[in-house]
Homo-oligomer: A and B are copies of this chain.
Amino acid sequence: VGVGTVSRVLNDSPRVSTATNTKVRSVIEELGYRRHHGARSLALGRSHAVGVVAPFFTSPSVVERLRGVAERLTRAGYDLVLFDVETPRQRAEAFAGFARPDRIDGLLVVSLPPTPDEVARLRGLPVVLVDVVAGGLTSVTTDDHRGGRLAAEHLLARGHRSFGFIGDDVRNAFGFTSSERRREGYLGALLEAGVPPEDVSEALGPHGRREARSLADALLDLEKPPSAIFAASDVQALGVLEVAAQRGLRVPDDLAVIGFDDVEVAAALGLTTVRQPLFATGARGADLLVAAIEGRPPAELRSTPLEPLRVVARRTT
């Protein structure tokens, strides 16, 4: 019983007789033999692992995307090696030390744009970006600009006349970009609709619920506070809602609030929000990455459209 034959059996090679096949398999079963994953990787030159870099602290939208990623990766037979980025430094470490072809077969990055330098260093490693675009890398994004417009149109239809926006600072430490695109769509639609610029205010800052509270306070302390606020994410909308409650503002009568993402808490709170496919973009990103790793054309994957953005109207507008 030669080692080569055993390998062939394990790899379903056609060049093996049915007799020995069953024999080998039964012995394998009997001995409880399992082939060594690492040794196989070394011989094959592929690790069968995919690196995933994601900013966990922005949960729960990132988590929802991760679920999509995990599902597809598992199905395709790849290990998911997670790198959580909570600080700018970790972001850099992820690209410098973690994103190496000898450790992983491919890299999936959520929300964090690599610098041109980092993109260059990634050469040779299949990479897919989710929720962000950079350096010509493959990426999966939703139409954030349009999402912003949808929010504006919804608020306009509700009869609002003064508008606020709360989102991530353009030059934030992590390079988050979706907030900015949503802002542009929102403001663009408002202005096109004839809303005078002085009736549109905005407050930008670091991401987070607590941080959003300060931003909301700033907006509501304005001489002409907005009657409606669009927050670039549900997490931030949550902060706005807190401030409203704290100030005794009735929602939506005194202040309307619309968020973005439609994570579970939005449904629980009755928060009106722009729903985007979270799980699906993660899944799509993973599919594209696996296709790239295995040299398959991504065409078919692109053909199935992602669920379009839409406003889910609930009780806060």
Contacts and interface: CB of A to CB of B under 8 A. Distances in A.
Interface of A: 34-39, 41-42, 47, 49, 52, 56-57, 59-60, 63, 66-67, 70-71, 74, 79-84, 86, 90, 100, 102-103, 209, 238-239, 241-242, 245, 264-265, 268-270
B83 A81 contact: no
A32 to B, nearest CB: 9
Contact of A37 (B71, B100, B269): B100
Contacts of A59: 59-60, 63, 264
A56 B70 contact: yes
Contacts of A209: 264, 268
A297 to B, nearest CB: 28
A122 to B, nearest CB: 13
A67 B57 contact: yes
Contact of A56 (B49, B66, B245): B66
B84 A34 contact: no
Given A56-B67, A80-B81, A268 B238 contact: yes
A39 B37 contact: no
Given A38-B38, A38-B41, A100-B34, A80 B79 contact: no
Given A67-B57, A86-B67, A34 B102 contact: yes
B49 A70 contact: no
A81 B38 contact: no
A38 B42 contact: yes
Contacts of A47: 37-38
Given A81-B80, A84-B74, A103-B79, A60 B60 contact: yes
A228 to B, nearest CB: 20
A269 B268 CA distance: 11
A103 B37 CA distance: 6
Contact of A81 (B66, B79, B241): B79
Nearest to A121: B32
Nearest to A39: B42
Given A52-B82, A70-B82, A70-B84, 8 more contacts: A34-B100, A39-B42, A56-B70, A59-B60, A60-B60, A63-B63, A80-B83, A82-B82
6 contacts: A34-B102, A35-B102, A37-B103, A56-B63, A56-B70, A59-B264
A80 to B, nearest CB: 5
Contacts of A35: 102
Contacts of A242: 268
A63 B64 CA distance: 11
Q: List the 3 closest A-B pairs by CB distance, nearest first.
A: A70-B84, A36-B102, A37-B103
B41 A67 contact: no
A67 B84 CA distance: 7
Contacts of A80: 81-84
